[in-house]
């Protein structure tokens, strides 16, 4: 009898449902590990909150001042010589990101990490999850992961994890059992007796036939069936997964994958009102569990549509895909006005500055490949987004100029730590071959080179960390007769900075700066604090306007300067 009771309890825990309904329990086949069971038995479940119970917008959290670093665990550092990166490998390299000592300058200055999927998965990338309450055994144990959190927190580094909830793996026990029409899991997915004559959100096939003869909805791939968020048990399970990682494990938040597709089937597949309502409800769950938890969403669309997901009532932040395209394209072109316009669009729709910026990520061509190996352009792009408003995210290896283009495996290759065999990533052949340029582009070689892209990232991130105006100050683009000059005022509560960079290929001199109006007035001293030394005086009229101020320095192609304005 005691053994039977243990079995029933274990099966209930796997489902993490409010009432442990009979049919799903009878069909569940996978039992959590002892450590998972212990934490799940102590978790509580509640009724699904009403959407009207959403908390009022929070004050800006820790993430407003953070610089994030996106890590693909499999590719960051292999600590045990099996060719696969792991949690212990990240721990060994934490001091590279931030050693926790503000008096040193040899680290990157990162203050937060986004980990790509860490749950068990049959795929190398991890975006098809088989168990939401466990970690990928290739990366280590739950104990290893908790040690990573502890060591990161010691250094002032927050850690968020990828939250892949739009779909599961087709090998997930939920989906395996869902193919039985009598199963309590059947309605956890979206089914049709015949294949609907409707394409997916971007024109792709979205319906696949299962072994039971029915067709299931899966917009990304047959191996990733979409969950049915109209099902109350699905919602409660996702809520409990959220609580588990925030409360029991201790992560600092989530990056939500494919956020715009949660409620979708047939003709309405993205950005539905039900999806927006879901995120408002989920926000309540997250903030009730940990008011300091951060959520950032992948809503890969225009900024106007993205704004529907934020605003202090849904996700804390959204990735600015339009802005990323504008920075890269207009540094390549070069047209600084295009970058300024994209920033102003983001600020218009997110006036509180709660948006996330990046150059590239695990789904897009790497920066150095986009610029055809042009280091100067890669540095310019980095300077622009690391001194701009929003919450910047650095994709691992971007800071050393790693290259990579589609397919995805080639933009997720192992980190290049040295010119040694296996690139210093591992002591054996890695899960994916390193880039051909690892002997010329790696951390060890760039570390001591003051002109390297690595040291450019270190210096600019240090500037951002030291100056609140670069993190949260108002963004005021200046006009110039030098059309390939990017001049921007960042006006904070207690400091005013101007960022300057020559985006073009030719040197510039006698460039004028003008501004139509602002909150400034009177005479200011203007003195560089980073880059070429210079000093001058600039005067704003009663309307905060400046007309025809001439920069006292010439700027070479790609040259960057940050200067401070101090009221006289």
Report the Cα 52 to chain-centroid distance in Å.
28
**447 catalytically annotated:** no
Q: Which residues contact 93 (CB under 8 A, 6 or more apart)?
A: 76, 77
Cα–Cα distance, 144 to 539 (Å, whole number): 57
Element (H, E) at 144: helix 142-154
DSSP 191: E
**Which residue matches tokens 């951390």?**
443
DSSP 319: B
Here the tokens at position 564 are: 């401070």
Contact criterion met (CB below 8 Å) for 360 and 324: yes
Q: Find out whether the peptide bond into 196 is cis, omega within 30 degrees of 0.
A: no
Helical H segments across 254-314, by residue range: 273-289, 303-306
Long-range Cβ pairs for the range 98-107 (8 Å, 24+): 98/155, 98/156, 98/157, 99/155, 100/154, 100/155, 100/156, 105/458, 105/462, 106/447, 106/458, 107/458
Instruction: Using DSSP bridges, classify how beta strands 253-256 and 158-163 pair: parallel, antiparallel or unpaired.
Output: parallel
DSSP 565: E
Cα–Cα distance, 11 to 32 (Å, whole number): 9
**257 catalytically annotated:** yes
DSSP 244: I
DSSP 159: E
Please identify which of the residues 78, 86, 107, 257 carries the catalytic annotation.
Answer: 257
Please identify which of the residues 298, 316, 398, 459 carries the catalytic annotation.
Answer: 298
- Catalytic residue numbers read 257, 298
């Amino acid at each position: 009898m005691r053994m039977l009771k243990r079995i029933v309890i274990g099966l209930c825990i796997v489902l993490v449902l409010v009432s442990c309904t009979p049919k799903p329990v009878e069909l569940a086949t996978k039992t959590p590990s002892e450590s998972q069971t212990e934490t799940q038995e102590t978790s509580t479940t509640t009724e699904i909150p009403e959407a009207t119970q959403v908390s009022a917008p929070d004050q800006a959290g820790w993430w407003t001042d953070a610089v994030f670093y996106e890590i693909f665990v499999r590719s960051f550092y292999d600590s045990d010589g099996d060719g696969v990166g792991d949690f212990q490998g990240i721990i060994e390299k934490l001091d590279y990101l931030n050693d926790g000592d503000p008096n040193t300058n040899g680290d990157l200055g990162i203050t937060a990490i986004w980990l790509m999927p860490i749950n068990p998965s049959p795929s190398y990338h991890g975006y098809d999850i088989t168990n939401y309450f466990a970690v990928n055994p290739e990366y280590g144990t739950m104990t290893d992961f908790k040690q990573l959190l502890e060591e990161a927190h010691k250094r002032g580094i927050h850690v968020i994890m990828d939250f892949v909830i739009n779909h599961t793996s087709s090998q997930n026990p939920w989906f395996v059992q869902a193919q039985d029409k009598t199963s309590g899991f059947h309605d956890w997915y979206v089914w049709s007796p015949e294949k609907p004559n409707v394409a997916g959100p971007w024109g792709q096939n979205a319906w696949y036939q299962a072994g039971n003869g029915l067709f299931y909805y899966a917009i990304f791939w047959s191996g990733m069936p979409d969950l049915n968020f109209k099902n109350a048990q699905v919602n409660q399970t996702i809520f409990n997964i959220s609580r588990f990682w925030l409360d029991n494990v201790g992560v600092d938040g989530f990056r939500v994958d494919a956020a715009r597709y949660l409620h979708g089937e047939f003709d309405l597949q993205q950005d539905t009102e039900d999806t927006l309502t879901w995120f408002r409800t989920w926000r309540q769950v997250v903030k009730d569990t940990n008011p300091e938890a951060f959520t950032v969403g992948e809503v890969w669309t225009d900024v106007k549509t993205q704004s529907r997901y934020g605003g202090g009532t849904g996700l804390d932040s959204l990735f600015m895909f339009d802005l990323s395209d504008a920075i890269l394209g207009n540094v390549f072109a070069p047209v600084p006005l295009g970058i300024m316009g994209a920033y102003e669009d983001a600020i218009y729709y997110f006036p509180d500055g709660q948006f996330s910026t990046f150059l590239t990520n695990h789904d897009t061509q790497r920066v150095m490949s986009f610029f055809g190996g042009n280091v100067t352009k890669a540095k310019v792009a980095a300077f622009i987004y690391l001194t701009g408003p929003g919450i910047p995210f650095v994709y691992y290896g971007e800071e050393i100029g790693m290259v990579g283009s589609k397919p995805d495996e080639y933009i997720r290759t192992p980190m290049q730590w040295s010119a040694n065999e296996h690139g210093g990533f591992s002591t054996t052949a890695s899960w994916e071959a390193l880039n051909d340029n690892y002997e010329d582009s790696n951390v060890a070689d760039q570390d001591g080179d003051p002109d390297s892209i690595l040291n450019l990232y270190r210096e600019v991130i240090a500037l951002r960390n030291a100056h609140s105006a670069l993190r949260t100050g108002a963004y005021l683009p200046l006009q110039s007769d030098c059309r390939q000059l990017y001049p921007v005022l960042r006006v904070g509560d207690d400091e005013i900075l101007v960022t300057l960079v020559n985006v073009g290929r030719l040197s510039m001199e006698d460039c004028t700066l003008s501004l139509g109006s602002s909150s400034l007035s009177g005479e200011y001293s203007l003195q560089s604090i980073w880059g070429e030394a210079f000093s001058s005086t600039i005067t704003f009229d009663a309307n905060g306007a400046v007309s025809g101020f001439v920069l006292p320095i010439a700027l070479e192609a790609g040259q960057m300067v940050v200067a401070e304005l101090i009221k006289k």
